[in-house]
Every structure is written in structure tokens, then in C-alpha cells.
Amino acid sequence: MADIEIRTFELTDESAVIALWMRCGLTRPWNDPKKDIERKLCVQPHLFLVGTTGQELIATVMAGYEGHRGWINYLAVAPQYQRQVASLQLKIKNY
């Protein structure tokens, strides 16, 4: 598996993130992904992570924490990288 960089979301990632979510079947007609991104950037933006290899965005996770419980939304891995996530898991654990 290629080296994966885990980093926080940047505004320039938006179109690649939405395209990945669409490829992974995560978008719904009643949820505008652009609005979901806008809302996340207002609350705990540091918990919106992307994974890249080279110039390719291959993974996302949008997380939240309110002091007691945590949640995960928009967990996506590009189909060609699914089932190869051992190194991705280690990177996130060490992030």
C-alpha cells in the first residue's frame, strides 16, 4: 500500500471529498454535502480528517466529541483502497 498522509481537511479538498463520498455511496438527496462541510468547519474542524496518497484524496472521516460521547460521520475510503486499511488505521491511531 502507498504511503498515506493523514491531515485536517482544507478548503481546497472540498470537491475531491464530495466526489469520494459520492463514489462510496455516502451522499443522500436530503443532505447537501457542501452544507455538511460548512457546518463541520464551524464546530471542531480539527476532527475533519482526510487521507491522501500523493495528490490523490483517498479517505475521509468527520468526527465529533461533546465531552462524553464521540461520533463518526462520512467515514470513507476510496474503493480501490478498501480492505487495505491496516496502515491507515495505524496512521489515524498515531495522528
pTM, to two decimals: 0.86
Residue 67 CA to residue 9 CA, distance in Å, equals 22
- The 10s digit of each residue's pLDDT in 31-69 is 999 999 999 999 999 999 999 999 999 999 999 998 888
- The 10s digit of each residue's pLDDT in 65-86 is 988 888 888 999 999 888 776 5
Count the neighbouring beta carbons within 10 Å of the beta carbon of residue 45: 12
Amino acid occupying residue 5: E
CATH at residue 45: 3.40.630.30
- pLDDT confidence band for 1 (50 / 70 / 90): low
Angle at alpha carbon of residue 14, lines to 7 and 92, rounded to 5°:
25
Domain that holds residue 73: 5-93
pLDDT given for residue 7 in this prediction: 93
Q: How many domains does the chain have?
A: 1
